[in-house]
Amino acid sequence: MSNVSQETYAEGLELEIIRDFDAPPEMVFDAWTNVDALKAWMGPVSRKCPSAEANPTVGGDYCFPMEIEDGETSTVVGTYTIIDRPTRLAFTWSWLQEDGSIGHPMHVSLEFEPLGDNQTRLKMLHVNLATEEAKIAHNEGWVGCFSCLDEYLRTT
């Protein structure tokens, strides 16, 4: 396991989102680590991620190029820091810059809590957001992603 923790990113703002899904924890967890699943749901409603790449092992990298209809692409890259199926998943999170450099380093931690009747409570903590504007934008993006994830889980 990696030693990367939330404390490593303690200087910035934090965003916490909790959402319940009508699927068992294993299914919700796998949607975050299976490349075909990520291609189907990753990104807010207005974006698609058909070229997602992921190596879901501790220290493995991922790349999620999120495209909008006009062809504009925003790409997030990172490294998996915790993989404990089906209870915890964590990874670094940075936006790829136009010059190819990696932007501001952030970290995302997910906890998958089983609820009755094959439901899961997902607790997400996104830390080290640089500004209040970034926090607002990431909140909007994550809410949209979770709606797409919910739709994916309902149709799978």
pLDDT in tens, 40-63: 999 998 889 999 999 999 999 999
Which of 123, 109, 106 lies closest to 11, judged by CA? 106
Q: Look-up: residue for tokens 């504009």?
A: 72
Whether the Cβ atoms of residue 73 and residue 94 lie closer than 8 Å to each other: no
DSSP 102: B
Mean pLDDT in residue range 2-7: 48
CA distance 127 to 125: 6
19 to each of 9, 49, 82, how far by Cα in Å?
A: 23, 22, 20
- 4 assigned to some structural domain: no
| pTM, 2 dp | 0.91
- 6 assigned to some structural domain: no
DSSP 27: H
- 86 assigned to some structural domain: yes
- 32 assigned to some structural domain: yes
- 8 assigned to some structural domain: no
- 51 assigned to some structural domain: yes
- 9 assigned to some structural domain: no
- 34 assigned to some structural domain: yes
Mean pLDDT in residue range 77-103: 97
- Number of folded domains in the chain? 1
Domain range for 73 is 14-155
Q: Residue type for 110, please?
A: L
Q: Give me the CATH number covering residue 44.
A: 3.30.530.20
